[in-house]
Structure 1
């Protein structure tokens, strides 16, 4: 336990109040690196959600009454405050779900997105158009929804805060932010920083909650829009609950991303990027994980040799150690689930186990939830392993013979969030990128989400976007005003 952790109970943040006594049970938060409890977290139920929505409604009125330059400056002030606490947020993010602190980019993203979207606050977002057969004045405005609910998964509370809370505030909304009870610590501290920066109390409320609290948020009649990031099964429940009030919902869901390695690629660079984007980063617990690696037959063996060397050299250790390159999965239950999926794939002959597939039990890691980086070769793309999101440090390597087969295999999935292409052929890069059924295609690089670029999925990977003008417009509704001049 470090000074970054709460001394007693991590309470909800509603308005300017920390609420430690709620209508539902508390949650004992486990640090995945040791398997030990490191915090007790208050959880929100329907009562607390109702209180948070009321606080947000009042704060949104105050927020919208401010001049645009004042709102812009307050978001920049918040970015400055976040910058001064990047180390603290990164440490709390590590405590949340065991992501190595060397991957501190999640905290940095919050600052980047705040600065970017602050620049939109005082920019014209409306337009005017002529109308047929009339001299009338016809103009289109974009207005905030009022109070939006943002639901974040355990593996990305700071990423979602960056990509959703920042544009929601810039658009003029207030936010009720529900991080997972499994990983609430960094989000709660960010809520406090909003107050320290001078944002109106209640503009950002942080209410960690389990399923019941999340359902109460989605069903609340005071919520203008929901942005949900998570898994497909939960998304279906969210969409069903939202029908009660016909609340619009944006979803960013899972992935089974293909990483295409063509024969002309720089194999050393491709192997390093593929290891990072695949089993190593966040122990594969990312919707952006490149879990299907498609390799041209001509370089299959050469690539695999390099790739296994990089994976094998990763330093496994305490996620709070800045030299650690590979950390634990989120829980003992997740470890057992992932391990079982690998065992099943091997038993069914879906692929050849090349490395990993076992729990790491040596020394100080024994009590943590560490599963060795796992690579299976010659995997059948129609197998359960290749089609189901494992959400762990497991990747499938699949050979292909030509460009057409690579695209066919890559698209042969119900998901479509990310795709990755490694080639030095410019014509191939353009052609293949346009053929891939994916919301984002990354050429000769890993997933690098930025505030300037829209991010989201095709097919079962969700609908809607974060980032860019498209991400801002998710938090604005359109109004058409026509003034008769006849």
Structure 2
């Protein structure tokens, strides 16, 4: 068991210090696999947020004063330390929200993003352009914001740490990282690893907090930029609070992703990927969940048959068991919300229940928050089920008759984060991908977020990007310097 879970209380990490006594009440963290208390976690209030930002400002000046070689090497050193602790981070990630430990990719992403963005530290960040009619020197520089606030959701603290903390540090910023109080454990350990790797204390501060702490972070006048990942309702509150100081905000929000299976697709592969990307991966608790499966009429029945076989073979169990492939949802409240959405859809005739739809309330899993992987067929895309993010192991399967109808249904949502296409026709793949209103289109594969590729949404799935050069530039502000040489 890790040090954090052995502690009587998991404290905030501000500078070099663990802070266990704060201005707000602590949070009892529950392990979704058993429904039992896992840890007591200190939460940040306005006082602790102010201390974290002040500490980060001092650390950022120290960080900026280092030469680019030393900053680059420091991020590589951190990647090496993370690599040595991948198993520990994966275990804490599982304790956080019940994701099966067999799905350890979130921890690996931290190392990958750190190594990638370390390479940007000593590369050109600016440019020079000629000025018409003048011999002046016109420089376009990219500089850090100073201190950035990163707000992560409970279902992806390590993913957000990878995609935001790594480029923020590479750009020269310090970070105040706020994981959800429901899933703070892996993030707190990552903060400790930053210190163990030799980063300046305070360069990365980890401050689990509920709404009051999050609001204090967004409203703090010394925060240069906010990166928020979460739901649309909370995003509106973040944007409203940030407006007080005109703090710029990047948002990565929800999705209701379409997964289009054309008649020429390899049905066995498409069914396996659709099951994984839909109800199985993270029990559907992912913004990248392909929760709307669009299937051509000609193969609808054959696809459904294969999909149900794959889902039926999922190994449901304790997320800490490496043979488990499907775990619980985050909480009892989430379980009841998801079940209510399924029951409502069935009662309203929005679709036919083909599999699942019930809580697993027997045997060793009875005390955890387990819900059967759920499939509804012949779903009406205008229904609440098809248009609202369920955030659970529930997928809606619908029919289409031609390419144009598939694109129309796929785009008929207020979200636009991901879309998936299964086809062996290269021309169709290119054509359809360009017609889909989505920030990412994955063809013949599931979502595979990488440090090289920009990731973000269209429409109400947010704005701004993580990953790639675009992700680095989200953490840089532009300055124009013109030197008169006439």
Question: So what's the TM-score if we normalise by structure 1?
Answer: 0.99
Partner residue in 2 for 1:243: 243
**1:4/1:88 contact within 8 Å kept:** no
Partner residue in 1 for 2:393: 393
Matches within 5 A, 1:5-44: 5-44=5-44
Matches within 5 A, 1:350-389: 350-389=350-389
**1:329/1:392 contact within 8 Å kept:** yes
* Distance apart, 1:132 and its partner CA: 1.5
Show structure 2 runs of 5+ residues with no match: none
Distance 1:312 1:264 in 2: 25
**1:4/1:91 contact within 8 Å kept:** no
The alignment covers a number of residue pairs equal to 486
Distance 1:108 1:143 in 2: 29
2:152 counterpart of 1:152:
yes
* Distance apart, 1:4 and its partner CA: 5.9
Question: So what's the TM-score if we normalise by structure 2?
Answer: 0.99
Partner residue in 1 for 2:64: 64
Matches within 5 A, 1:24-423: 24-423=24-423
Change in 2 beyond 3 A, CA 1:112/1:425: same
Name the Cα RMSD after superposition. 0.7
Distance 1:108 1:477 in 2: 29
> What secondary structure does 2:6 align onto?
coil
* Distance apart, 1:330 and its partner CA: 0.3
The C-alpha deviation readout for 1:434-467, integer Å capped at 9, x for no partner, is 0000000000000000000000000000000000
> What secondary structure does 1:134 align onto?
coil
Partner residue in 2 for 1:465: 465
Matches within 5 A, 1:450-461: 450-461=450-461
Partner residue in 1 for 2:474: 474
Distance 2:99 2:5 in 1: 16
Distance 1:430 1:76 in 2: 37
Distance 1:350 1:428 in 2: 30
Distance 1:235 1:2 in 2: 33
The C-alpha deviation readout for 1:214-256, integer Å capped at 9, x for no partner, is 0000000010000000000000000000000000000000000
**1:254/1:389 contact within 8 Å kept:** yes
Partner residue in 1 for 2:430: 430
> What secondary structure does 1:283 align onto?
helix
> What secondary structure does 1:9 align onto?
coil
Show structure 1 runs of 5+ residues with no match: none
Distance 2:171 2:5 in 1: 32
Distance 1:203 1:136 in 2: 38
Distance 1:122 1:2 in 2: 36
* Distance apart, 1:6 and its partner CA: 3.5
Runs of 4 or more, structure 1, over 6 Å off, are: none
The C-alpha deviation readout for 1:141-166, integer Å capped at 9, x for no partner, is 00000000000000000000000000
**2:353/2:375 contact within 8 Å kept:** yes
> What secondary structure does 1:131 align onto?
coil
**2:2/2:88 contact within 8 Å kept:** no
> What secondary structure does 1:271 align onto?
helix
> What secondary structure does 1:295 align onto?
strand
